[in-house]
Every structure is written in structure tokens, then in C-alpha cells.
Structure 1
Amino acid sequence: MKSRRRWRWQHRPFALGLVLYTLLLLLLVSYMLDYGARRGRAGEEELLLLPPPPRRCPSLEEALGDWSWQEEPPPAAAAGGEGAGNGTAGGEAGPGSRAGGKRHVYLHATWRTGSSFLGELFNQHPDVFYLYEPMWHLWQALYPGDALSLQGALRDMLRSLFRCDFSVLRLYAAPPGPRDPLAPFAAPSGGKSGHNLSTASIFGWRTNKVICSAPLCPDAPWAREAVGLIDGAACERSCPPRGLRELEAECRKYPVVVIKDVRLLDLGVLLPLFRDPELDLRVVQLFRDPRAVHNSRLKAKQALLRESIQVLRSRYRAEPRALPRRQLLPPAGAAAAAAAALSGARAHQQHRAEFFLGGALEVICQAWLRDLLLARRAPAWLRARHTQLRYEDLVLEPRAQLRRLLRFADLPAPDALEDFVLNMTRGAAYSSERPFLISARDAREAIHAWRERLSREQVRQVEAACGEAMSLLAYPLSGRDGDRPDAAAARGRPSAPPNPG
């Protein structure tokens, strides 16, 4: 009995130490969990209070390395001399030496920059086979795929279309609903099949000069060589749908194929096409004052909402996950944004569509900046096959710019086409109630219409998002307080870009 008490007395300090150690561990674990939670909440509040991270120029060296811009020119181009068969920004073009003399021109633009008007100039030329926004079908079929993920498919589609192979459209332009895998091989019922595409659903066919004139449309009331806008309703009445094979055969007759689209976000994606010996690719990149672009996009915001979301999703996909996502177009002060976020109020009081369109414009301006930097550092043989054009220059100097574009594409400049471009930019009204309708307008007024329609805050937001690209394109910024540019700039034309080619 006495020995048992002695044993308990000897081991009591050990038991007490064990209990204290266990309590210490429990307290320590509880403290660490509470500290982590408080640290996380504090970090979130700190991020909300911080101003959005500043935009930085894209990594030029990294981008050039990704697309191998410094590689040697393709053998065919090297054999024909630097820039063989291609005009520089303002120089003369020589005879083509690649792709059997056939030229392939891509009009690289974005929404509401005047690209439909630019495309219409090529549509009117008698030597041009013109395709209007064929990639629309791809984007619709793969919605809600983000714009960045669709760039490769877009490039492959371009390659097929430039070769007058329109079968690629069957992958994307098929009618909605479940597809029967055996349907393309089954005999059509009554000569019609939902899978047999025709001219009556592609390339803006109601105003396409090739589709709406002989020989594809023998009863057309106008000739292919005649310059002038086509009445879409009259074309629909006079021109029955024709199969893709007939359209492909007609495409092969033309010396120049021109494709206009607004869904390419990275000029570097086209490098494999530049190097393809079977193509003589030339790119005309169209720019416009981002403030005017934003003003025009707001007028058609419901029509542009779907694709703006696809553009915006590409930015979230490309952002480093460790960095906080910035607001699309932040309000005037970071403190106001933080207060709105912390209180659960909406950070923006704009309409939902305007919110998405503004964010998409920021992505587009960053894409412009990348393209401008890449074009400046590209080798000479590639620069000779890429030219830049500002919408403002086109409408203020329509004849001179038209001649430059046609030289670049190795095309003659008919007098009737020069008269056409002048008349289209000297209309009676600034705009149309139908924003996607091509018509004669007072384009000189359209250049500065944003000054009367955008608020000071909207102007400030666009300039904050697009300032770097605007600087390279020689678009003057407004005053520091978001006011309009000075009266002299408002009355005159925009400054000339430092490097228009």
C-alpha cells in the first residue's frame, strides 16, 4: 500500500505535465485556426481597398518568341524577293509570286470599327470574291466558348475558306437540333436537306455581289461589274439558293479572295498562314478611336452582348490565378468601389449589357496593343504583308486610302469605285436607325459623335482602359478632368499615326 502511494506521488508530475501539454496543443490549434480565418478576412478587405493593378504592356519578347516572328521568311517569299507580290503601307505592289498569283486578303477588325464599310469596298470590286464574317457561324456553334479558345479553330477555318473549300462550314453552320450522323450520306428528301448548306445562309448573301449576280443568279437585275449597293430584298426574290459546290467553283475564278471578320484577337495566330506557300496572305488591320467604338457599341449593345461575353471570358481565362480580378471599368475612385463591394451594393450602376460591353472593350484594346507591338517588331518580309488603317483616315481621305488599299491587294482602282467610296462617306445623315445596315452617311460627323453622346465618366473609363493603344495610334486623349479634347482637335482631323503601315 505504501509502495503504491509512493508510485502515484512519483508519477503525478508526469501526468500533470501531460495534461498541460494537451491543453497547450488544443489552445495552439484553436489559435491558429482563428488566426488564419482573421488573416483571410483581412486579406480580402485589403484587396478590396487596393486600387486595381495597373495594366502593363504585353511581354513583347515573350509574345515574339511564342509566334516565332524572327524566323526566316517562307521559301516562296524569299525567292520572290522581300515582300514579293505585296505592297507596303504606302508603297507600290509588285506582281504576286506565291499561290499561283492568287491573293488572299484578311480584313482584321473588331466590332463597330467600320469594318462592314471597308469590306463593302472590296465586295464592289469586280475582281474580288468577298466573304462577310464567316466565323460568325463558328462562334455561334461553340458558344459559350471564350474568344481565346476559339482562335485556333478560326485560323483553320480561314485556311480552308481562302482555298475556296467551304465544306468546313458544315461543321458549324448546320441547323440547330440533334444531328443524325448518317444524315449527310442519306438521300435528301424532296431534294432538300437541313445538312445541305446553300448560299441562302452564309456570307451575308443578300448583299454579296457574287451570289446576287450572274452566273450564280442569271435573273439578277444588275451586272457583277456594276458598282453600287445591292437591294437585299430584290436579291432574295431574284436569286434562288445555290449549293456550296457551285459557290466554290465560282470562288476559284477570282484572282483575289477577301474575308472580313471581327473575331480574331491576336495577329500572331495568323503566322502559320503567312508562312503557308499555298497562300499569299495579306492583312489589312482596321482601327478606330476607342471612344467612338464604345459609343457605337452602346447603340447596338443587345446585339453585341453575346459575343462580348465570349471576349470577356477570354480575359478571365488568361489572367494569372494568383492575381485578383480587376473590375471591368472601375468607377471614379477605388474607395467608392471598395465601399460598394463591402456593403454588398452593386459596384456599377450601369446596365448589365453596358457592363459587359465595357469590359470586352478593355480586352480588345489590350489585343490592339499586342498587335501594334508585334507589327513593329516583325521582320521586313512580314511587315510588307500587313498594313494598318484608321477608320478616320478612310472617311476623311476616301479616294487616297482606297487607292492605297487596292495597291496593297494588287488590284486596279476603277473610277466608279472611287466615286462610290466618296459618295458613301458624304451622306446626309450621321447614322442609321439600323446600325448594321450599310448606307451612305456623313462619316465626318460620325468621327466626333462620341463627344456629344458619351458622358465625361464614360470617356474617362475608355481612355483609362485603352490609353496605351490610343497613344500608339495617335488618338489624342481628353483633358485630365475627363473633359472633351480642345476645340482645335475637335474641328480638325485626328493626328496622323506615327507609323501608318
Structure 2
Amino acid sequence: MECSWKVLALLVFASLGIQYTAIKSLSMTAMSPCRDVTIKKRCQHLKGSLCEDVNPQSRTQILVFAASRSGSSFLGQLFNQNSDVVYLFEPLYHVQHMFSKAKSTIDRRSLLGAYRDLLRNLFECDFYLLENYMNPTPKDHVVPFIFRRGASNALCSPPVCEHLERVEESLCSKKCKRVNLTLASITCRTHKHMAIKTIRIPEIKYLRTLLEDPRLNLKIIHLVRDPRAVLFSRIYTFVDQYRAYQIWNSSGRKPHNLDLSFIQNICTDYSNSVETAFSKPSWLRGKYMLVRYEDLARDPVRKANEIYNFVGLEWKENLTAWIEENTNAVVPSNVNKYTTNRNSSKTTDNWRLRLNFNIVKSVQELCRTTLSQLGYQVVDSIPQLRNLSQSLIEPRVFLPFL
């Protein structure tokens, strides 16, 4: 029987606004045999090591678990720069995008279920489930794009992309727009490890089923950042979305009926995840590491080595040079919002000089528990806020739960 995904994709699209379970059941019953046959046929036309699969039992899967504007792009690139790792930047974007376009109301449980299902498939080097979140339905497993595929060295290299003299995100996006998911799956299988970055799962508890899956050797790097700094970064990165906050920041007067719930949600998600981790449940043993962005930014080589030791990756010679180049840069004001090129020692405290004290107080009132949990000190005055000689980051050591 010929393995075709047209029928599967149409069925999933039809049910997308109604039942997540349709996606899961169809993928579980039809995906594996089709995937294996298609990949084996494609491998017949490729040479040598491109089809020599790494033993899946030895592969480590890494999830960078974070909130938006918390430094996750930089942390993700610490894995992307390792030739043993295939890295994906926010593949869950496709799920969220498709669900947001569905006419029927999608509840949170269904969305989170779809997220987990896609992560599981990707971690097993099965890229085909992505087709269910592409419109129109892809033909021959070739999709028009993968979100920020240029941020992945593996997806900008042969056999997925054959046209680049050097791996560079802007060049990759221009010259290799379409992605053959079969070739992406083949490439993934030839790498020792896989890393994925996501900002779309709110709490660690929603990852439990993946952490307990015996098919995966999943490690979670939970990246957190001072919520006051997160808000500041969002205000100046997503200008249109945070226009009211910019008015508040410049005038010191809070606009009428400005909704602060998203700030509270960030802190609640941080707190709930940290409380779960600190309770040391058996399903997190050996699988979870908490990292503060500020600690990573201030001593990136040392912290990156700690992260590598925890997940069990070999340190590569190029990593130290890459870190030094990307954390000591002079960056122009019009820099791409996703760039990892920063002067990291300065970015940690930028918010203290530019965020209005009234906004700082409001965040502190909403997030006092979270700030205390993570070792971020509150300020009581403008002079205390602006005095950069006095750190607001307590010297905490968050040891991995082993």
C-alpha cells in the first residue's frame, strides 16, 4: 500500500477545531510505517553516512523550556553550535498558528496535547506530523517553510539544504525556502542528540508524559529570567503589541484599564514550575535543571559547561569562541530581535536604567513570591533601582535534581 499523507492531513485539518484526539490517533496508527518506508526509499538515493542512523537508544533529547524574551534563543544556540546536535527553533509555532486559525474554539488541554504529540514525534526524528499544521496540504513531504529554520545549522546543511557556501540564517532563508521533511528526518537520525526550544508550554507539569516516556531520554533546561527584565524586553521588542506599556513607561502614568494579567501569568507559571521541581517528584529525577538567565549571561562559558555536563554532551572546541564572540558584541539599535549577538554583561541590567519605577513596583506587587523563589531582590526607591553597583541578583546555586 502506498504511503500517502494527503488523506491523513485532510482528516486532521477537518477535525482540528474539534478534537485533538483525532490528530493523536491518526498519527499513532499511520505515521510510523509510512515514515520508515518513505525514509528508506529516499535513503537509496543518498550516499554513505547520510543514512547511517545513530542508535536511538543513545540519543539524548533536550528541551529548552522558557518564556518569551528570557534569553532562550541564546541558550538554544549553545546546542545548535554543537555538530552532534540537531536543533529546532520553536516548532510549536506551527501548532499554535494552525489552531489560532481554526473556526471552532480550542481549549487549552487540546492545544497542550497537540504540543506534546508534536514534540514526541520530533524527538523521535519524525518530522511528518508537521504536515498536519501546514495549509495547503504539502505534496511529497515538501513544506513551504519551517519557522525560523535558518536558526538550525542542521536544516541549513546537506542534504536538507544544498545551496549554501556557508551556514548563515539569512542566506538559508533566501536560498532554501522549502523543506523536504524526509530529508530533515534523515538528517535528524544521523545526529547523536536533538534540542528543541519552546516558549509555548506554560508549566513543567504539562511535560510529565514526555519525561516518563521510555522511548525518550529527555532533559529539561528550565530557563528563567527576572520578570521585570522580561517585561522590559517585550516592551521594546514587540512595539505594536505593547504600545500602552510604552506610554506608561514614558509618562509614569498607567493607562486606564491596562490588563496586567499576562505579567501575573508569567510569574504564576514560573512559580508553579519551580514549586513542582523543588518538590523533587520521581519523574523529574535526573531530567531537570533550573538556569537563571542572569547567571548564564554573567559567566556564559562556565554556565554553559555546567549545562553540557548535566545533559551529557561533549564540549566542542568551537563553543568557547562562539560564546565569547556572541556575548561581548557592540550591537546596533536596529538589531534583529532574535539575534544572539549581545553584550551579555550589560543586557542583564538594562531594564534598571530604562524601566519606569511605577512599572517596576507594579510587577513586584504581582510577582513578589516568584522574585523571592528565584533570588531576585525587590527595590523600594528610584535610587536603589538605578544603582547598578548594587546587584539585585542573589548568589543562589540551583543544583540539578539527580
Do they superpose with TM above 0.5? Answer: yes
Deviation at 1:136, TM superposition (A): 0.8
Verify: 1:286 aligned to 2:223, yes or no: yes
1:226-247 CA deviation, whole Å, 9 max, x = no partner? xxxx433322454463411111
Partner of residue 442, structure 1: 343
Alpha-carbon contact 1:128-1:257 (below 8 Å) kept: yes
Partner of residue 119, structure 2: 158
Question: In structure 2, how many angstroms separate the alpha carbons of the residues matched to 1:237 and 1:206?
Answer: 9
Seen in structure 2, the aligned counterparts of structure 1 residues 239 and 149 have a Cα distance that, compared at 3 Å, is closer
Verify: 1:459 aligned to 2:357, yes or no: no
Alpha-carbon contact 2:65-2:197 (below 8 Å) kept: yes
Verify: 1:198 aligned to 2:142, yes or no: yes
From 134, 142, 152, give the equivalent of 2:99: 142
Deviation at 1:469, TM superposition (A): 1.1
Consecutive unaligned residues in structure 1, runs of 5 or more: 1-97, 176-183, 185-193, 223-229, 306-330, 332-346
Seen in structure 2, the aligned counterparts of structure 1 residues 393 and 293 have a Cα distance that, compared at 3 Å, is same
What amino acid sits opposite 2:338 in the alignment? L
Question: In structure 1, how many angstroms separate the alpha carbons of the residues matched to 2:159 and 2:125?
Answer: 17
Partner of residue 40, structure 2: none
1:7-40 CA deviation, whole Å, 9 max, x = no partner? xxxxxxxxxxxxxxxxxxxxxxxxxxxxxxxxxx
What amino acid sits opposite 1:151 in the alignment? L
Question: In structure 2, how many angstroms separate the alpha carbons of the residues matched to 1:378 and 1:411?
Answer: 24
Seen in structure 2, the aligned counterparts of structure 1 residues 454 and 240 have a Cα distance that, compared at 3 Å, is closer
Verify: 1:415 aligned to 2:372, yes or no: no
Deviation at 1:491, TM superposition (A): 4.7
For residue 156 of structure 2, give the secondary structure of its aligned residue in structure 1: coil
Question: In structure 2, how many angstroms separate the alpha carbons of the residues matched to 1:416 and 1:112?
Answer: 26
Deviation at 1:384, TM superposition (A): 1.8
Question: In structure 1, how many angstroms separate the alpha carbons of the residues matched to 2:150 and 2:56?
Answer: 30
Alpha-carbon contact 2:220-2:289 (below 8 Å) kept: yes
Deviation at 1:432, TM superposition (A): 4.2
What amino acid sits opposite 1:252 in the alignment? R
What amino acid sits opposite 1:386 in the alignment? Y
Deviation at 1:216, TM superposition (A): 2.5
What amino acid sits opposite 1:215 in the alignment? P
Identity rate, percent? 28
1:259-291 CA deviation, whole Å, 9 max, x = no partner? 101011111111111111100111000011111
Question: In structure 2, how many angstroms separate the alpha carbons of the residues matched to 1:467 and 1:246?
Answer: 48
Question: In structure 2, how many angstroms separate the alpha carbons of the residues matched to 1:360 and 1:428?
Answer: 32
Partner of residue 174, structure 1: 135
Partner of residue 383, structure 1: 285
What amino acid sits opposite 1:385 in the alignment? K
Seen in structure 2, the aligned counterparts of structure 1 residues 467 and 240 have a Cα distance that, compared at 3 Å, is closer
Deviation at 1:496, TM superposition (A): 2.1
Partner of residue 107, structure 1: 64
Partner of residue 22, structure 2: none
Question: In structure 1, how many angstroms separate the alpha carbons of the residues matched to 2:79 and 2:269?
Answer: 25
Verify: 1:255 aligned to 2:192, yes or no: yes
Verify: 1:275 aligned to 2:232, yes or no: no
Verify: 1:207 aligned to 2:151, yes or no: yes
Consecutive unaligned residues in structure 2, runs of 5 or more: 1-54, 243-247
Deviation at 1:303, TM superposition (A): 6.6
| Higher Cα Rg, which structure | 1
From 56, 76, 85, give the equivalent of 1:119: 76
Higher relative contact order (CA 8 A, sep 6+): 1
Q: How many residue pairs end up in the alignment?
A: 334
Alpha-carbon contact 1:478-1:484 (below 8 Å) kept: yes
Alpha-carbon contact 2:146-2:179 (below 8 Å) kept: no
From 178, 183, 203, give the equivalent of 1:246: 183
Deviation at 1:383, TM superposition (A): 3.3
Partner of residue 338, structure 1: none
Partner of residue 220, structure 1: 164
Deviation at 1:174, TM superposition (A): 2.1
Seen in structure 2, the aligned counterparts of structure 1 residues 486 and 500 have a Cα distance that, compared at 3 Å, is farther
Question: In structure 2, how many angstroms separate the alpha carbons of the residues matched to 1:385 and 1:120?
Answer: 20
Question: In structure 2, how many angstroms separate the alpha carbons of the residues matched to 1:455 and 1:148?
Answer: 37
Seen in structure 2, the aligned counterparts of structure 1 residues 216 and 499 have a Cα distance that, compared at 3 Å, is closer
For residue 286 of structure 1, give the secondary structure of its aligned residue in structure 2: strand
What amino acid sits opposite 1:451 in the alignment? R
Deviation at 1:409, TM superposition (A): 2.0
- TM-score scaled to structure 2, two decimals? 0.76
From 458, 474, 477, give the equivalent of 2:378: 477
Alpha-carbon contact 2:141-2:182 (below 8 Å) kept: no
Verify: 1:130 aligned to 2:81, yes or no: no
Seen in structure 2, the aligned counterparts of structure 1 residues 281 and 219 have a Cα distance that, compared at 3 Å, is same
Partner of residue 202, structure 2: 265
Question: In structure 2, how many angstroms separate the alpha carbons of the residues matched to 1:348 and 1:391?
Answer: 28
Alpha-carbon contact 2:86-2:194 (below 8 Å) kept: yes
Question: In structure 1, how many angstroms separate the alpha carbons of the residues matched to 2:110 and 2:396?
Answer: 32
Alpha-carbon contact 2:67-2:199 (below 8 Å) kept: yes
Question: In structure 1, how many angstroms separate the alpha carbons of the residues matched to 2:269 and 2:109?
Answer: 11
Question: In structure 2, how many angstroms separate the alpha carbons of the residues matched to 1:111 and 1:237?
Answer: 26
Question: In structure 1, how many angstroms separate the alpha carbons of the residues matched to 2:74 and 2:350?
Answer: 18
Deviation at 1:436, TM superposition (A): 2.3
Alpha-carbon contact 2:222-2:288 (below 8 Å) kept: yes
- TM-score scaled to structure 1, two decimals? 0.61
Deviation at 1:411, TM superposition (A): 1.1
Question: In structure 1, how many angstroms separate the alpha carbons of the residues matched to 2:109 and 2:353?
Answer: 34
Alpha-carbon contact 1:199-1:205 (below 8 Å) kept: no
Question: In structure 2, how many angstroms separate the alpha carbons of the residues matched to 1:296 and 1:101?
Answer: 38
- Computed over aligned residues only, the root mean square deviation of the Cα atoms, in angstroms, reads 2.8
Alpha-carbon contact 1:200-1:241 (below 8 Å) kept: yes
Question: In structure 1, how many angstroms separate the alpha carbons of the residues matched to 2:108 and 2:278?
Answer: 24
What amino acid sits opposite 2:58 in the alignment? G
Partner of residue 42, structure 1: none
Question: In structure 1, how many angstroms separate the alpha carbons of the residues matched to 2:379 and 2:91?
Answer: 37
Partner of residue 396, structure 1: 298
